Amino acid sequence: MLRIRNGKVYDPAHNVNGEVRDVCIADGKIVADVDASARTIDATGMIVFPGGVDVHTHIGGAALNFARGLIPEQHRKATPIFHSPERRAGIIGTTPTTFATGYVYAGMGWTTANEAAVPVLSAKHTHEELHDTPIIDKTCCVLMANNELVLDLLENDEHERAKEVVAWYVWAAKAYGIKAVNPGGVAGWKWGKDCKGLSDVVPGYKKVTPSKIVAALAQIADDLKLPHPVHLHCNNLGAPGNASTTIETMKVLEGRRAHLAHLQYHAYGGDDWFTMRSAAVEIAEHFNANPNLTCDAGAVLFGNTVTVTADGPWQHLLYQLTGRKWGNLDVENETGCGVVPYVYKEKNVVNAVQWAVGLELLLLITDPWRICLTTDHPNGATFWRYPEIVQLLMSFEFRKEQLKQFPDSTLSRMVLPELTREYTLGEIATITSAGPARTLGLTQKGHLGVGADADIAIYNESTDVAKMFAHPRYVLKGGEVIVEEGELRKSGLGRQFAVKPQYDESIEDYLRPLFQQHYTMSFENYPVSCERVHGLEVQPCNYCGTPHR
């Protein structure tokens, strides 16, 4: 039992906005009250947030691990974590090791993360990495929009069966949601091609188009009552002028739920790299008008990183642009992935526009419940740089300082200089915790109401926002004090949330022969068994069509 006394509490889900009050904890949950014998943390002069929830990150699995292997020279310069009785050794850097990932997230006050791109074929590998990612709770989304068994069904308009197959795959992977990456484009990449327009027919098919795939998967997520809508990485990522594709995608969804991942990468105007400019205004306008949608920023910060995505064709383009290393890994029937180390430079106009667009979307999208703070870790920047973004969002003056480094020719491509909005602490709590938890449909996360998981971050209130959010004074996970006096004191294993959507078992009779034809693994060895997922908790599929709020 524990009482956090006299903190300034921010709990947007309950409209608590900086009130000084106590938060009580028993058995890992928030409770109404505890008796006098409970341990007390004096939070006078501190602010109390629900633990951070990352709606879109790449923290484990084949693709990220491939990236780790590609950049030994970066690890050498990265911050190490020393082995001690309470923690395992590791390296932070752009692709932190699994143990480092857990410690660093928790050390910042973030207690839940959604691994956003998992091929079913290597889901066992992802779960093993997530098992070794301590402290934080995890969910993951499986890649479905280029799965050839699903595309074949959509080609023949067999939607009902496609739904069953998707449901089977989700449970086979012990996943939490459905991810769609460059729908149709990655399947095309298997032939070295792409799918840029929403009505382009996917290479190798006669009828299937990206828009068909998007609409079908969004519908399937709704029909299966998944707590999290289809997690959508739109077509045409990173390309100048791609805002039109993104807006068209919003129209294709026709009011169905969807979460648009790393929206920054899909909000560019212009015709080519020389004329590329921000289209954040248009994107935000359409987004604001579509209450069925949520998104995450996918913001970019300047510096060294490595880009990892299932979007193979984009990565090949990036390799051609940079001439640096390139890794590609195609996964049979399901997806692909590309890895390219990358440096975002202030002096590069395209990078400067990308940096601005991420912030612009965060400032132009009016409802903080519908946009989550992310960097598409490690693509836009590593997750441990989130506090830098918070600082930019909270201070117009600070942004003005930053903008001074750009010449007028660069500034004319963005709207950021005109945006005076400053985030409040309550809004920060919304985009870092309450909003993403609600978007994920994790009802026990992102708030401090009775019954919620006692995942709490306590910060020394300070005007230096970046420092404050990087170094919480206390962090609690499931009621356990993990960080105390700013030091990581304890490390436990986190849980993994999955869903078991309803499907007819007979779908296996349909899948088994197809497996023998198309896969190189036995059907029986393919699903991840429950025993292999440490701390597995099956969440209900009970989305009932109520709007986001």
- By the criterion CB under 8 A, which residues form the site for other proteins? 60, 62, 65, 68-69, 72, 75-76, 78, 80-91, 93, 95, 97-99, 121-122, 124-125, 128-129, 132, 148, 190-192, 204, 316, 319-320, 326-333, 336, 489-492, 517-522, 524-525, 529, 532
| Closer Cβ to other proteins, 12 or 494, answer by number | 494
CB of 84 to other proteins, least distance (A): 7
CB of 393 to other proteins, least distance (A): 31
CB of 331 to other proteins, least distance (A): 5
DSSP letter, residue 201: P
CB of 493 to other proteins, least distance (A): 9
Locate 410 and state its tokens. 């660069």
**Region label for 235, one of left (φ > 0), alpha (ψ between -120 and 50) or beta (otherwise):** beta
CB of 371 to other proteins, least distance (A): 31
Cα–Cα distances in angstroms (integers) from residue 376 to residues 263, 285, 296, 327, 545, in the given order: 10, 22, 8, 18, 28
| Closer Cβ to other proteins, 23 or 511, answer by number | 511
CB of 101 to other proteins, least distance (A): 9
CB of 515 to other proteins, least distance (A): 10
| Closer Cβ to other proteins, 398 or 523, answer by number | 523
CB of 430 to other proteins, least distance (A): 33
One-letter identity of residue 156 = N
CB of 85 to other proteins, least distance (A): 6
CB of 532 to other proteins, least distance (A): 7
CB of 75 to other proteins, least distance (A): 4
| Closer Cβ to other proteins, 205 or 423, answer by number | 205
- Do residues 31 and 25 touch, judged by C-beta distance below 8 A? yes
DSSP 414-435: -SGGG------HHHHHIIIIIH
- Do residues 81 and 99 touch, judged by C-beta distance below 8 A? yes
Q: Which sign, positive or negative, has the C-alpha torsion 374, 376, 380, 383?
A: positive
Locate 278 and state its tokens. 């921000």
DSSP 277-304: EE-HHHHHHHHHT-TTEEEE-----SEE
| Closer Cβ to other proteins, 177 or 313, answer by number | 313
- Do residues 385 and 301 touch, judged by C-beta distance below 8 A? yes
Instruction: Tell which residue, 376, 379, 383, 465, has the closest CA to residue 428.
Output: 465
Q: Coil, strand or helix: which one is 309? A: strand
| Closer Cβ to other proteins, 330 or 508, answer by number | 330
Q: Which residues fall within 8 angstroms of residue 238, CB to CB, at 6 or more apart?
A: 265, 268, 314, 317, 318
| Closer Cβ to other proteins, 89 or 343, answer by number | 89
CB of 377 to other proteins, least distance (A): 15
| Closer Cβ to other proteins, 199 or 522, answer by number | 522
What is d(CA 235, CA 250) in angstroms, rounded to the nearest whole number?
Answer: 12
Which of 511-544 are b and which e, b meaning 16 or more Cβ less than 10 Å from the residue's Cβ? beeebeeebeeeeeebbbeeeebeeeeebebebe
Q: Which residues fall within 8 angstroms of residue 495, CB to CB, at 6 or more apart?
A: 137, 138, 535, 536, 537
| Closer Cβ to other proteins, 122 or 245, answer by number | 122
* Environment class of 401 (CB within 10 Å of its CB; exposed 0-12, middle 13-18, buried 19+): exposed
| Closer Cβ to other proteins, 93 or 298, answer by number | 93
Cα–Cα distances in angstroms (integers) from residue 7 to residues 31, 34, 45, 133, 434, in the given order: 16, 16, 7, 30, 18
| Closer Cβ to other proteins, 68 or 262, answer by number | 68
| Closer Cβ to other proteins, 206 or 404, answer by number | 206
Using N-to-C axis directions, what is the helix angle for 349-364 and 280-288, rounded to 10°? 30
